[in-house]
């Protein structure tokens, strides 16, 4: 079963310096039918104006993944980390017992386009932690590249939940296939372009879909596309 979540149905917030689209309920946007999927709690697509950003604010008991699509993010946190996150990089921050951080667009010309993802952790009270990894386009081109997992391999970042996150950049007409293990589920998020998933069209950036009880998931790019695929318990 594939249940689409069209991009135009998402929640929206416009703060002038920030335009944000919420796949699931977040902040002032509440939708009882879209509170998350399995342990996946938030997928926010954010557009941040040059020189603007999120001031220092707290988090706790959440696995937070940042995936930059265009521009760059300047990150600082209470663990002493300071870095710039570029397209193709994955940042994981485990909020655990509590962290504060800030995120800014350091450019005075380019806008910032990113996905911020929240995953519920395996338990409360974990030690806060941070990782950042770069993945070359060639590693993701027309194949699924594991970028985050509770059992990371080949350079993927560690997340403290039974979730595997894959990324793929697909040329038009190319396909990838995924076989979920019995009893597992998937969430497919279109970051760019359009794809067809087992015959269901996800035709616009921001489209997503919950996938359950599918023995084989075949994803075909109808236009050049970038996708995120979450494998979930």
Query: Residue 108 in contact with residue 152, Cβ under 8 Å?
Result: no
pLDDT reported for residue 61: 97
Question: How do residues 42-60 score in pLDDT, each as one tens digit?
Answer: 999 999 999 999 999 999 9
pLDDT reported for residue 206: 98
Residue 7 pLDDT level (bands cut at 50, 70, 90)? very high
- Which of 148, 179, 178, 172 lies closest to 221, judged by CA? 172
Question: How do residues 74-89 score in pLDDT, each as one tens digit?
Answer: 999 999 999 999 998 9
The superfamily in CATH containing domain 2-232 is Jelly Rolls (2.60.120.10)
pLDDT above 90 covers a percentage of the chain that reads 100
Question: How do residues 122-159 score in pLDDT, each as one tens digit?
Answer: 999 999 999 999 999 999 999 999 999 999 999 999 99
Enter the pTM of the model.
Answer: 0.96
């Amino acid at each position: 079963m594939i249940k689409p979540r069209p991009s135009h149905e998402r929640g929206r917030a416009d703060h002038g310096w920030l335009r944000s689209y919420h796949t699931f309920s977040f902040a002032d946007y509440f939708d009882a039918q879209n509170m998350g999927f399995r342990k996946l709690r938030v997928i926010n697509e954010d557009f941040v104006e040059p020189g603007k950003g999120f001031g220092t604010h707290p988090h706790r008991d959440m696995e937070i993944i940042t995936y930059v699509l265009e521009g760059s993010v300047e990150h600082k946190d209470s663990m002493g980390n300071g870095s710039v996150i570029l397209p193709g990089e994955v940042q994981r921050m485990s909020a655990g017992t509590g962290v504060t951080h800030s995120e800014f667009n350091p450019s005075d010309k380019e806008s910032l386009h990113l996905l911020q993802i929240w995953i519920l952790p395996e338990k409360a009270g974990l030690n806060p932690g941070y990782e950042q990894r770069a993945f070359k386009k060639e590693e993701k081109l027309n194949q699924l590249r594991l970028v985050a997992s509770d059992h990371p391999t080949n350079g993927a970042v560690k997340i403290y939940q039974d979730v595997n996150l894959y990324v793929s950049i697909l040329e038009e007409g190319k396909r990838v296939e995924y076989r979920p293990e019995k009893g597992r589920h998937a969430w497919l998020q279109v970051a760019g372009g359009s794809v067809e998933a087992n015959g269901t069209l996800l035709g616009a950036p921001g489209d997503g879909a919950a996938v359950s009880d599918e023995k084989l998931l075949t994803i075909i790019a109808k236009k050049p596309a970038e996708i995120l695929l979450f494998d979930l318990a």
